[in-house]
Amino acid sequence: MHSHTVAIAQVLIASAILAVGDGISKQLGQHYPVTEFVSVRMWTFLVFVLWFAHRRCGIRAALATTEPFKQVLRSSIWSLEIVVFASALTTITLAEAHALFSVYPLVVTLLAVPVLGERVGWRRVVSVAVGFAGALLIIRPGVISPAPGTFLILLAMLMWCGYQLLTRLLSSRERFETNLIYMALIGSVIVPLAPLGGPWVWPSAQDAGLMLALSTTSLIGHMLLVAALTRAPASTLQPFNFSIMVFAIFVGYVAFGDLPDRYTVIGAGIIVGASLYVLARERALQKSG
In angstroms, the CA 90 to CA 23 distance is 10
Q: Show Cβ contacts of residue 223 under 8 Å, excluding neighbours closer than 6 positions.
A: none
Residue in 183, 188, 169, 186 with CA at minimum distance from that of residue 66: 169
Q: Show Cβ contacts of residue 89 under 8 Å, excluding neighbours closer than 6 positions.
A: 22, 25, 26, 29, 97, 149
What kind and span of H or E run contains 119?
A: none
Q: How many helices (H) and strands (E) does the chain have?
A: 13, 0
Calculate the alpha carbon distances from 93 to 27, 256, 264 in Å.
11, 9, 11
Identity of the residue numbered 64? A
In angstroms, the CA 88 to CA 50 distance is 30
* Three-state DSSP class for residue 242: coil
> From first to last of its 289 residues, what are the pLDDT tens digits of the chain?
578 889 889 999 999 999 999 999 999 999 999 999 999 999 999 999 999 999 999 999 999 999 999 999 999 999 999 999 999 999 999 999 999 999 988 888 888 777 777 777 778 888 888 888 888 888 876 555 577 889 999 999 999 999 988 988 888 789 989 999 999 999 999 999 887 667 889 999 999 999 999 999 999 999 998 888 888 877 677 788 889 999 999 999 999 999 888 888 999 999 989 888 887 877 777 777 6
Say what the pTM is.
0.90
